[in-house]
């Protein structure tokens, strides 16, 4: 009898399982990404619909719910002014599957002016894969390390569809820039090659879902605001659902 040792290995398709199958729909995907903005102590998060056939005025009118509003060149950009991630954090937090850095449920940030305590949403460590649910191409720009470091990475999620390779075989170029003067921190996720066709009613459903993240207390509402932006023109703030 021969003795062997076996360990699990991870096929690249695991990523697809998490991103496209565990996260059930586009609305939940954006909801997860905005929860990450909150967890990163952002004061504002903006969801930009770019190259979409919709205006702010359209969203205020009733009816027309089934109208298709996306196109092949439509983009969804999610931007926040949270603490961002340094290159090292992108490497160890964003790119490492199965980990969450939010084991400590109550985190606080103290600056000279503010002392912000937040109860973390994150726990399952899958929210970032919501970007894959939304579209196959992700352009991530993170300014972290107190504003001194910018990291850019382009991810093509479809490269994980190959079942003959392991997850480690898929690699992407990453660019890092150091600044001498600190920049505004935060994370920007630009998602292209959207997987689904969007209709007007999807946007209405998204607004309703996001309103769940707004605190019922007015003094808390100033801490975290969510905006929707339509093609760089109309912008609206998500309010508590009545
Ligand atoms: N908007 C963001 N700003 C800063 N860091 C982020 C942001 N989104 C995600 N991260 C980092 O990536 C990690 C993974 O996010 P996610 O997959 O949603 O898992 P979880 O929220 O459960 O930790 C987070 O723990 C955090 O460290
Ligand atoms: Mg999360």
Q: Into how many domains does the chain fold?
A: 1
Has residue 237 been placed in a domain? no
CATH number reported for the structural domain that contains residue 96 in this entry: 3.30.565.10
- Residue 62's Cβ-side half-sphere holds a number of Cα atoms within 13 Å equal to 0
Give tens-digit pLDDT for 211-220. Answer: 999 988 877 8
Task: Enumerate residues lining ligand 1, CB below 6 A.
Answer: 32, 36-37, 39-40, 80, 82, 84-85, 93-94, 100-102, 122-128, 187
Has residue 238 been placed in a domain? no
Give tens-digit pLDDT for 71-89. Answer: 999 999 999 999 999 999 9
Has residue 132 been placed in a domain? yes
Has residue 203 been placed in a domain? yes
Q: Which residues form the domain of 109?
A: 13-231
Q: What is the mean pLDDT of residues 98-105?
A: 73
Closest-lying ligand 1 atom to the alpha carbon of residue 45: 1
Alpha carbon of residue 16 to chain centroid: 16
Between CA 101 and CA 93 the distance in angstroms is 7
Name the residue with the closest Cα to ligand 1, atom 23.
100
Has residue 242 been placed in a domain? no
Has residue 7 been placed in a domain? no
Has residue 151 been placed in a domain? yes
Between CA 190 and CA 48 the distance in angstroms is 9
Has residue 142 been placed in a domain? yes
What is the 8-class DSSP label of residue 38? H
Q: Return phi, psi of residue 112, to 5°.
A: -60, -40
Query: What is the CB neighbour count within 10 angstroms for residue 133?
Result: 25
Q: What is the mean pLDDT of residues 169-187?
A: 97
For ligand 1, mutation pick of 22, 91, 127 (most atoms within 8 Å of CB) = 127
- The pTM of this model reads 0.95
CB 187 within 8 A of CB 140: yes
Name the residue with the closest Cα to ligand 1, atom 18.
127
């Amino acid at each position: 009898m021969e003795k062997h040792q076996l360990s699990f290995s991870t096929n690249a398709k695991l990523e697809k399982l998490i991103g496209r199958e565990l996260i059930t729909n586009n609305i939940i995907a954006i909801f997860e990404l905005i929860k990450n903005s909150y967890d990163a102590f952002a004061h504002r998060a903006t969801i930009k619909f770019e190259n979409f056939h919709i205006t702010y005025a359209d969203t205020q009118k009733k009816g027309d719910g089934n109208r298709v509003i996306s196109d092949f060149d439509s983009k969804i950009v999610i931007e926040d002014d949270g603490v961002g991630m340094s290159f090292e954090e992108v490497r160890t937090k964003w790119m490492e599957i199965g980990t969450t850095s939010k084991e400590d449920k109550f985190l606080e940030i103290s600056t000279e002016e503010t002392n912000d305590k937040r109860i973390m949403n994150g726990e399952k460590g899958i929210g970032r894969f919501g970007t894959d649910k939304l579209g196959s191409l992700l352009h991530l720009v993170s300014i972290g390390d107190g504003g001194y470091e910018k990291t850019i990475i382009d991810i093509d999620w479809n490269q994980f569809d190959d079942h003959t390779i392991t997850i480690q075989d898929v690699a992407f170029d990453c660019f890092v820039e150091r600044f001498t003067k600190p920049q505004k921190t935060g994370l920007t996720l630009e998602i292209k090659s959207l997987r689904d066709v969007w209709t007007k009613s999807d946007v209405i459903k998204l607004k309703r879902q996001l309103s769940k993240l707004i605190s019922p207390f007015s003094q808390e509402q100033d801490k975290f605001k969510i905006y929707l932006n339509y093609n760089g023109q109309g912008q609206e703030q998500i309010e508590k659902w009545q």
